Structures are given as structure tokens and as C-alpha cells.
Amino acid sequence: MIASLIFVKRDIVKTVRGREKKKEKRKKKNEKRKTKKEKRKKKKNKMDLKTVDDEIMLSDGRVIKIPVKKSEENIKEKEMGKIKVEKIPNVWGSSAGAGSDYFDLYRKQRNQENERMELMEKKWKEYTENQIFQCKRKEKIEYIEKKRLKKKNKRLIKKNKIRELRNSKKANKIETTTKDSPTKLNTGIGKEVTDQVENGDAHVVAKSGTETVPKNCHSVLQSDEGNLRMSDQDEAETEEVEQLHAPPVDTNSFLVVKEDELF
């Protein structure tokens, strides 16, 4: 009985001592926590400072002398400091699309990239279509201009031929009139006039002069004037025809717009 009681006492003592040790540990932990809280409070209180040149006054009322750094020195230190690099995760990695944390970023960037590629393809397609259209347009304009120049050259050749024929006809008529006029005057009219003058019929000479000689001269002059008028009328008609044709247009300065771009 006595031995059993002794063992029971020992167990009780051990339990009591263990409880006391635990209590002491808890007290120490609480004290450490309190000290940490007090330090934090002091740091917060230190932020409420009133700077007067080199002296700092704490909230307690104590004054501490601390050398205040100049602004230039602070700027130099900031410039000499390390460069901060923002770490961006590798969203396009092997595990990005396999249920990782960055799947939303991966999906967003993927959609943006797909939209960008579609827009680039659309613009390139429009550019190529416009280039093809411009090339075809230039070819058509060149073909039309070549045709126009050919027709113009043909018209000029015809005009020159017509003018040459007219000039040759005029020259032949003038030559024939010049050859015929002196022979008539010497043969018929001239003999009658000379005979009448010798006989002394001055009145008859005047009548014969008014009736015979001027008629031949007027007929020659009227024929020449008629030919000249006809040539002038033909030239005026050709000029009017040329004016009716539209002048060539410089199409290089035109702005070409597609039907889709108008609306």
C-alpha cells in the first residue's frame, strides 16, 4: 500500500510540474508578443515627427539630433539604386493551358493574338486587291491612249492630203487662167480696140471696154474667190470637228475609290 501511494505522489508531482512549465512558457510567449507590439507602436509613433533642420522631436517630447540629408544626395542615391524588374510569368509555357493559375492570362493573350493576325490578313488582302486593280486600270488607260494617238495620226494624214490636193488644184487653175487671159486680149479684144481707135470711135471703145474686157476679168476673179471661200469653209469645218473631240485627260491625278469604301 505504501509503495503504491509513493508512485501516485510522484505522478501527481510530475503533472503539476509539467503544468507549471507550460504556464511559464505561455507567459514568456505572451511577454514576447507584448514587446513586439510595443516596438510596432513605437515605430508608428516615430512616424509622427516634427523636423526642425537637424533636430527631431518625438511624440514623447524628447529631442534627437539627426543629420538631415539634402535632396541632391537623396536623388543620387535613388539613381544609383538597383533597377526593379517586374517578373512576368511565362504564360506561353508548357503548363499554361493545362489548368494552371495563369490560364485566364493565356486565353486573353491568345485571343488578342488571333485578332491581330486576322486584322493583318484582312489588310494585306485589301492591299493586294487594290494593287491588282490599279495595274489593270493603268493598262486600260495606256491601251486607250495608243488607240487615240493612232486615230489622230490617221486624221492628220488625211487632212494633209486634202490640203495638198486643194493647193495643187488652185495652182493649176491659176496657171490656166494666166495662160488663157493674154491670148484672148491679144487676139480678139485687142484687135477690135485698136481698129476702133484708128477709126476714131472713142465712144465705141468705151462701150466695148465696158462690155467685153471686164466680163472676162470678173469671171476669173470670181472663180478664184469662190475657191478661196470653199477652202476657208473646209478648214473651219475641220476645226469644228477637232473641237468636238474631247481633249485627253490626265488620269494619274485621280483618286481611285472602291465601291465598298464609299459607304
The predicted model scores a pTM of: 0.29
Nearest to 231, CA basis, from 160, 172, 167? 167
The pLDDT of residue 92 is above 80: no
Contact 68, 51 (CB under 8 A): yes
Backbone angles phi, psi at 65, to 5 degrees: -95, 120
Instruction: Give the confidence band of 193 by pLDDT, cuts at 50, 70, 90.
Output: very low
Contact 90, 97 (CB under 8 A): no
pLDDT of residue 22: 81
The pLDDT of residue 211 is above 50: no
More confident position, 157 or 220: 157
Q: What angle do CA 253, 255, 256 make, to 5 degrees?
A: 125
Instruction: Annotate 145-167 with three-state secondary structure.
Output: HHHHHHHHHHHHHHHHHHHHHHH
pLDDT of residue 220: 46
Residue that the C-alpha cell 484708128 belongs to: 198
Spatial separation of the C-alpha atoms in residues 4 and 162, rounded to whole Å = 158
The pLDDT of residue 154 is above 90: yes
4-8, 49-53, 66-70, 181-185: which range is least confident on average? 49-53
Spatial separation of the C-alpha atoms in residues 149 and 172, rounded to whole Å = 35
